[in-house]
Each structure stands twice: as structure tokens, then as C-alpha cells.
Amino acid sequence: MLIQILDVDYVMVDDKPVIRIFGKNGAGEAVCGFYEGFLPYFYVAGENAEEVLKDEDLNFEKVKRNIILKHVPQDVFKITLKDPSKTPEIRDRLRSKGLKPYEADILFKYRFMSDMGINGMNWIDITGPGIQTESVSINKIIQIKKMKAVEKTGNADLKTLAFDLECVSNRGGIPEAKRDPIVMISILFSHDYKGTDRMLLSTRSGKGVTYFETEKAMLETFIKIVNDFDADILTGYNCNNFDFPYTLERMRQNGIRAIFGRCKQKTVFAKSIGNRHKVYMTGRMIVDSYTIVKKDFSLVRYDLGTVAKNLLNEEKIDVKHSEIETLWRGNDIEFERLAKYAMRDSVLAINLLRKLDLTSKYIALSKISGTLLQDTLDGGETLRIENYLLREFNKKKYIFPCKPEPEEMGRRMREREENFLKGGYVIEPKKGLHSNVVVLDFKSMYPSIINTFNICPTTLTRENGDDVIKSLSGAMFCKKSVKKGIVPDVLENLMKSRQAVKMQMKKETDKEIIRVLDAQQWALKIMANAFYGYLGYLRAKAYYIDIANSVTSYGRNLIQNTSKSIKKMGYEIIYGDTDSVMVQSKKIELDDIEKEMVKIVDIINKDLEGILELEFEKIFKRFLPFTKKRYVALCFERDGDKWKEKMEMKGVETVRRDWCELTSETMKRIVEILLKENDVKGAVNHFKNVIGKLMKGEIAVQKLAVTKSMSKSPERYVGMQPHIELVKKIRKRSPEETPGIGDRIPYVIVKGLGLLSKRAEDPMYVIEHGIQVDSSYYIENQLLPPLERIFTSLGIFKSELMGNGKQMGIMDAIKNHVKAAKETEKEKEIIISSKEMNGFVCSKCNDFHRRVPLVGVCECGGEFLFSSPKGTATTIVAG
């Protein structure tokens, strides 16, 4: 029978481990395969290992294996035991006698999967008799006699259950699982469950609600539903860190065993690490939409409301957290609103998963690396690389080192301090707004370097000789002809596979298959690119600083040489970073530019070694660099016989948590005017225009609001913060509207005297009462900081931006100051001095203000002086 592997674990039966493979067959049925007779083992180097462990019931076998830094097979012991859980103890005994264990920290399930050549989410063909057992909640159980991996592209039909909790705390703030009960559980099913796709469990009765007298009864039913529906995936929004740990704790409080995985003996449990949790469940997977969205999409905020609106264009039901208790205790209509709210959250969680197809990429990563999907989702790159490398090492009779122990970590850290890891080479960008700049980059630079120069832990050698290549940073590696490295080989395969998948995609017409293939080629790229980082990661099992440094030194050399050659051909280099150079074209039409550059690329490529290859990547019709690693560009990329246009921003955020909409909007528009319209004056005018509108009060108040959340009661805040001061204000004037702990509070800064925080106001209140917002604040603190950087790179200073009629006190002062300086051609110094200026001091009362407290004069009526960091006021502001 063919099954797709969802999870693997083992249990001890009669003192022997039995591996259990949880999967799904093509018909969408859950299947479990039992595999007996596989025993845990590991290796140790050192003659007296047998002597050290003579009292243990172990099997010793003397074998020859390859190890890193030795170039002939070594004698080692293969130690086989019966119980996987005994390994750490035996491993540590060996270590305490100075012996070096290998592969002694590999989870038993991964030992098995690696040896059998089976991967997470891949298909296997298992054959054997069917058996009956009460240990798992699955009907189809096969005693595996034969097993083999099978190539199959598609995925089994997976059942998903989304859930969401509501609980009330009578003390305000986040409910405490030890104390506050769950009052509602909403559930949404991906597949029909008893004629419905949703259920709402609650300890209060109402319309459309399944009522329970006690929380205990409700939780027991929840368990029953999960098991009955037999979900493959459980999801929720932030369920890893809230819903699961909370549910599990409530089950504990109620004396219920959390048996809702596919093993009837193992409970679902959560381990807490700080305020973070990791949830373990056998046979099913937990996919938290929040975790993935946060990783895969760039948004300002990640609350479910924002996420649903931006990514799905679906609305969350608007219930403030502080309202939940009121609604729960309220009348029927209020209760119904809470019920709808609860249900919607489950709907959104599952919609995120399905409509955004959040799992495909991770499934592809699992298939390639071998890691189980759950671990691919929870763990990082290191886990995937090590899982993959273990298999590749073993194929070549290499044994893999263990995780570094504290002593080794110490050594690595000291070594790194003396001989630190150097990165890529960055060419200083040429200032200004450029047109027709071409990006040439090295195709998979680091993987190609590793492959070309045979850089690998298995080729690293300390003995010089004819068959050795000395890298630019001084490390030595065996020549390919003598010994091909495992990592170089693996990378070549990954890159070749990716090309093959891309070719296949071009021929394919089925949308669903194209989607899977696209995820696959993406995952192959991700895996290939992760190797360099892995080899330089301090905690990696196969970390060697020489290796990481060799890779980057070749990279720097390549980019420098390439840049030099292109200059020799008579072209100007505008910018370059690590694996790319940006060249000034002499043509104007996109097609001409491409032809011109392809010629250059061909010349460069003739002299490159191995699989290294420079590529024409794209054209920046307009290119505006600010500093190293920060630029905006209007980019044209080839798309068949057409050109695809897009805006590209590197290191420049157009949205930030603490910026109001006006700032983001203005920034986007100005970048657009500069890049698309190539109109510097137009950009300046737009900026002036926005400022003009702002000062005339023509900007919608909502666009000026910044939202922050209140995590504790206002009294407990030590410093002064605008949104907290606003809460205090609201409490005084309309206590019934006071926001609660955890609520998000939007505010705008209004005109008036006194501290900034004291001038925070509710946007709605501002509109209703026609209060004026503090335009100076918005100019100085919201608009100028990000935009000034852009304009400065074009040689336009604050003075020019702020000029034009309107008297603005402080602004005018700066303007005059800059003007005076300009006359003596000393703009640069001004930029520096205005950067160093960190506040204002009143000339009369000596009061220090970090920000301009509006209208340019101090509260006492005195004028301001700029103040430098050292505290000395330097420049007098003219009134």
C-alpha cells in the first residue's frame, strides 16, 4: 500500500522498539505501519570503548568508517543497543573517558528514516499483514515486512480542523490558564463532519451553540470531536502559544487526559520555554497560521484582524478584548455576537491556510531534506541540513559528528574572536538618481563557489601537497580529481534538480501540479543556499570557520575582479553587493541594454572556473541608492518576450509600526514620482504639498493615527507614553469607554502646550470636536525622518523641502542655516551637524526638549538653541 508519511515515532514493546509510521493512503484513509527489528546504534572512536562499557548489554562491532579530517577509513566501534532512550547515558560515559562518539544524538525516528531512505511527506510502499491493536486510533494497521520509498508528486487529501478558544478572566488582561475556564470553543472542519462544517461548543446555551453544563464536559467532547473527525492537521491562529497550551492546562485542571493524537497512550503535551511553547502530538500535525504568516509575509502587524484584511480581504468581527467578558455575561444578542466572533476566528485561521496555501513550501522542504513536516515547521535550517547531510555522509561511509559540547563551543567562540568571519564585498554606491543601470549577478554564488573549489568538511585537510588546493583565505582542500566533497556534490545535485523541475514546469499545464513543482524548485533553492550559512553556524555539527571564510574570500575576489574587468571595458560600476554588480548602460531601450550586457557577461564567463556563472539579471530603469544595502529602484525583468516592471526596495521600509498612514503613503508616492516619473522637482513639490495640506488641516485625521497596545494597567507604566496618557484622559472624561488591558489604542498628537504624551488624543474625539492636530509634530517626527534620507541622497536638504512661504520657526532657522552654509559650499558639514543635533534648549529658561514642542517657541516664550550631544548649544535659531 502506498502511503504519504505524516509522522513517525516509536514505542517499546517487550523491551524492543517498534517504529510506527503514521500516514495517509491515496484514498485519504489514515494508515499506520509498524516496523519491528530496527535497533538504535551509534559509533565511537577509540580502542578501549569496549572496556569502558563492558558491564552494559551492548553489541560491539569493529567497522571501518570515514571521519572528517582523515582521508583514509578509520577503525571505529559500532555500538548497537536495545533501548534508544539509553543512548545519552552511554554516550556520556564514553565522553567522560575521553572517547569521541559519532551519531549519538540523532533521534531514533530519524536514525530509522535515514537508514531506510524515507523522508517526511514522501510516499512509501509498505507491504505486510494487517493487524489489530488498541494502541493507535487507526483501523488500517500494517505489520511492515517490506518497505520502499516511491517517487510520487502529489499529496494525499489531508483533513484539517481549525479551532479557537474564548475564555474570560475576571481580573482583566490575558486569562490565566490555571484559573480562568474556557467558555467557548469554535471548530471548523475542512471536510464534512456529521453533516456540518462547523461547531460551537459553549458553557452557556444560545442560538447555534452546543451547550455543556461544565467545562469538563465541553473539553471531553472536544477531544472526542478531534478523534472522531480524525484530523491530520490541527490549526488555529497563534494556537502554538495560546490555544494549545491553554487547552492542555484546562484539561489538566479538570483531570482529563489529553488523548487526542493518534496514539491512544501518549498524551498531547506542551513544553514551555520562557513564554514560548512547543506542542507535541503523535500522528497529527499542528500548523499555526500565525507562525507561517509571520515568516512568509511582510506586514506591519500580525494580529488576526490586520492579517485577514490584508491577505484575504476578509473582516474579523470587531470585538475588543476588554468586551469579551461583558458579551459573555450580557444579554442574548450580546452573547450571539460573541459566538459569531468566536466562529469567525476559526474560519479565518483555516482560510489563511488554504487560500494562501501556507503549507506547500514546507511540504516541499520536508520531502527534500527528509525532515518530518512538523519539524520542518517548528525547526530551523540547521535541522533540515543536518538531516539531509546525515544521509549523504552515510552513503559514502562517513559518520557524522555530534553536536558541539560546551568545551567545543568555547573553543569555537574564542577562535572566532581571533579569526572572525568575513562577509561579502560591498561597493560604495555612486550618489544620485541613475537611469539604465543593469544588475549582473552570480548565479547561486556561494553554492557555486563551494562546488567549484571543492569546499567541504570532507575535503578539508591540514596537509599540504600537490593534490591540494589552497583557498584564498589559506585553508586547504583536496582537489576534485583526488576526492570529491560531499557538500559540493550535494549542491550540484540540488542545483541540477532545480533546473530539471523548472523545465518540467514549463511543459506542465495542470495548475495544481505547477503549484507543487514551484514549491519544489523554491525549496531546492532554499536548501542549496542554506549550506553556506550552515557551515559558518557556530552550533552546527559540521562547523569549520576555515570553510565559511574560504567561501566568502572567493566571493569577494570574484566580485572585485568582475568589477575591474567591466571597468576596463569602459563601463561605470554604480554599486555592488556580495554577488552582484550594477553597471551603467550606454543604451536606452531595454532590449538594447540587454544585448549590450549579455556581451559583457559572455566575456566575463569565459574566464570563470567551474560552474561559476555571471548572469544578466534585470534592468533598473531608475536606481536611487542611499547607502550600502539601501536603495529603491524601478526594475524591469525578462518575462518570456516581454518585460515585467516592478518597484524594488532594499533596506527601506515604507511601513513601520510607529509610522502613521500619511507617512507610509507619502513615502510610497515620492518614491514612485522619483522612479517612474524621474521627476525630482515633482517629488519635492509633492512633499511640500503634503506639508501644506497638513498645516491647513486638510489631512484626514485617521491617516495620522498611530496605534499601540496597552499590555498592563496604566498605573504600571513607568515612563510616559502617549497612548497610556490618552487612556488616563479617557478614563476621566468618559469612564465607560476606557480601553482595557490588551486593547489597541489609536491616537493622534494635537496642538497645545506641554509634553507630547499629554497631547495624545483619540482620533474620533478629535474629529467630533474639531480639534487641531499638531502639524509640526507630524512634519518633524513622522514625515521628515524617513523622507529626509531619500532627499539628502539627491542633494536636497531640509531647507529646500521646508522653504516656500510659511513661517515655521525652527524650520526656517534650519533653512537659513543651511542657506548660509550652502553659500560657502559646506553642505556636508551641515548634514553632519544636523545629525548630531539631538534636541533643543531654550535660551531663556534652559529647558531641554528632545523634540520641537510646536510653534517654535518654548513654553516660557523663549527661543530655542540647537543642542549637540555633549550638551552644548551651538547654533542660535533666528526667530
Q: Which of 73, 208, 380, 432 binds DNA (CB under 7 A)?
A: 380
Site string for DNA, 308-347 (x = CB under 7 A): -------------xx-x--------------------x--
Q: Is there binding between residue 297 and DNA (CB under 7 A)?
A: no
Q: Is there binding between residue 24 and DNA (CB under 7 A)?
A: no
Q: Is there binding between residue 651 and DNA (CB under 7 A)?
A: no
Q: Which of 70, 657, 681, 851 binds DNA (CB under 7 A)?
A: 657
How many CB atoms are located within 10 Å of the residue 395 CB? Answer: 11
Closest contact distance (angstroms) between CB of 809 and DNA is: 25
Backbone region of residue 846 per phi and psi (left: phi > 0; alpha: psi in -120 to 50; beta: other values): left
Q: Is there binding between residue 305 and DNA (CB under 7 A)?
A: yes
Stretch that binds DNA, among 86-94, 127-135, 250-258, 607-615 (CB under 7 A): 86-94
Closest contact distance (angstroms) between CB of 371 and DNA is: 11
Q: Which of 3, 167, 389, 535 binds DNA (CB under 7 A)?
A: 167
Q: What does 660-722 look like in DSSP terms, one character per residue? A: -HHHHHHHHHHHHHHHHS--HHHHHHHHHHHHHHHHTT-S-GGGG-EEEE--S-GGG--S--H
Quick one: DSSP state of residue 214? S
Site string for DNA, 564-583 (x = CB under 7 A): --------------------
Nearest to 656 by CA among 668, 646, 647: 668
Residue 624, SS3 per DSSP: strand
CA angle 93, 94, 100 (to 5 degrees): 145
Residues 445-474 that bind DNA (CB under 7 A): none
Contact residues for 400 (Cβ-Cβ < 8 A; gap 6+): 102, 103, 106, 386, 389, 390, 393, 394, 541, 542
Contact between residue 63 and residue 106 where contact means Cβ atoms under 8 Å apart: no
Class of residue 440 by CB neighbours under 10 A (exposed 0-12, middle 13-18, buried 19+)? buried
Q: Is there binding between residue 612 and DNA (CB under 7 A)?
A: no
Quick one: DSSP state of residue 263? B
Look up cell 589559506; give the residue.
Answer: 474
Q: Which of 23, 120, 175, 447 binds DNA (CB under 7 A)?
A: 175
Stretch that binds DNA, among 82-90, 130-138, 209-217, 603-611 (CB under 7 A): 82-90
C-beta of 86 vs 152, nearer to DNA: 86
Nearest to 443 by CA among 378, 496, 379, 366: 496
Closest contact distance (angstroms) between CB of 302 and DNA is: 4
Q: Is there binding between residue 627 and DNA (CB under 7 A)?
A: no
Residue 76, SS3 per DSSP: strand
- Which H/E stretch holds residue 802? helix 798-802
Q: Is there binding between residue 156 and DNA (CB under 7 A)?
A: no
Stretch that binds DNA, among 63-71, 173-181, 196-204, 781-789 (CB under 7 A): 173-181
Closest contact distance (angstroms) between CB of 560 and DNA is: 23
CA angle 555, 561, 565 (to 5 degrees): 145
Contact residues for 337 (Cβ-Cβ < 8 A; gap 6+): 317, 319, 327
How many CB atoms are located within 10 Å of the residue 54 CB? Answer: 10
Q: Which of 111, 361, 498, 759 binds DNA (CB under 7 A)?
A: 111
Closest contact distance (angstroms) between CB of 421 and DNA is: 13
C-beta of 581 vs 784, nearer to DNA: 784
C-beta of 412 vs 751, nearer to DNA: 412
Q: Is there binding between residue 84 and DNA (CB under 7 A)?
A: yes
Closest contact distance (angstroms) between CB of 280 and DNA is: 5
Q: Is there binding between residue 241 and DNA (CB under 7 A)?
A: yes
Site string for DNA, 30-69 (x = CB under 7 A): ----------xxx---------------------------
Query: Taking the mean position of all CA atoms in its chain, how far away is CA 380?
Result: 10
Nearest to 789 by CA among 658, 691, 651: 651
Q: Is there binding between residue 476 and DNA (CB under 7 A)?
A: no
SS (H, E, C) 476-522: EEECCCCCCCHHHHHHHHHHHHHHHHHHHHHHCCCHHHHHHHHHHHH
C-beta of 689 vs 711, nearer to DNA: 711
Q: Is there binding between residue 165 and DNA (CB under 7 A)?
A: yes
Q: Is there binding between residue 172 and DNA (CB under 7 A)?
A: yes
Contact between residue 492 and residue 449 where contact means Cβ atoms under 8 Å apart: no
C-beta of 299 vs 472, nearer to DNA: 299
Q: Is there binding between residue 620 and DNA (CB under 7 A)?
A: no
Q: Is there binding between residue 238 and DNA (CB under 7 A)?
A: yes
Contact residues for 625 (Cβ-Cβ < 8 A; gap 6+): 429, 430, 431, 434, 574, 575, 631, 793
Q: Is there binding between residue 206 and DNA (CB under 7 A)?
A: no
Residues 481-540 that bind DNA (CB under 7 A): 539
Closest contact distance (angstroms) between CB of 140 and DNA is: 24
Look up cell 523545465; give the residue.
Answer: 503
Backbone region of residue 260 per phi and psi (left: phi > 0; alpha: psi in -120 to 50; beta: other values): alpha
Query: Taking the mean position of all CA atoms in its chain, how far away is CA 79?
Result: 40
Q: Which of 35, 108, 398, 400 binds DNA (CB under 7 A)?
A: 108
Residues 249-278 that bind DNA (CB under 7 A): 269, 271, 273-276
Strand 285-288 relative to strand 233-236, pairing: parallel
Strand partners, 45: 100
Q: What does 422-482 look like in DSSP terms, one character per residue? A: P---EEPPPPS-EEEEEEEEETTHHHHHHHHTT--TTTEES--STTEEEPTTS-EEE-TTT
Q: Is there binding between residue 148 and DNA (CB under 7 A)?
A: no
- Please list the helix, strand and coil fractions of the chain in percent, rounded to the nearest 5, in that order: 40, 25, 35
Q: Is there binding between residue 103 and DNA (CB under 7 A)?
A: yes
- Interface with DNA (CB under 7 A), residue total 61
Max CA separation in the chain (angstroms)? 94
Q: Is there binding between residue 302 and DNA (CB under 7 A)?
A: yes
Strand 864-867 relative to strand 839-842, pairing: antiparallel
Q: Return d(Cα 436, Cα 583) in angstroms, integer.
A: 9
Q: Is there binding between residue 815 and DNA (CB under 7 A)?
A: no
Site string for DNA, 412-441 (x = CB under 7 A): ------------------------------
Residues 682-741 that bind DNA (CB under 7 A): 709, 711-712, 719, 740-741
Q: Is there binding between residue 658 and DNA (CB under 7 A)?
A: yes
Closest contact distance (angstroms) between CB of 269 and DNA is: 7
C-beta of 380 vs 465, nearer to DNA: 380
Stretch that binds DNA, among 148-156, 167-175, 227-235, 789-797 (CB under 7 A): 167-175
Stretch that binds DNA, among 127-135, 652-660, 805-813, 833-841 (CB under 7 A): 652-660
Instruction: Point out which residues bind DNA (CB under 7 A).
Output: 10, 40-42, 84-85, 87-88, 91, 103-109, 111, 164-169, 172-175, 237-238, 241-242, 269, 271, 273-276, 280, 290, 301-305, 321-322, 324, 345, 380, 539, 656-658, 709, 711-712, 719, 740-743
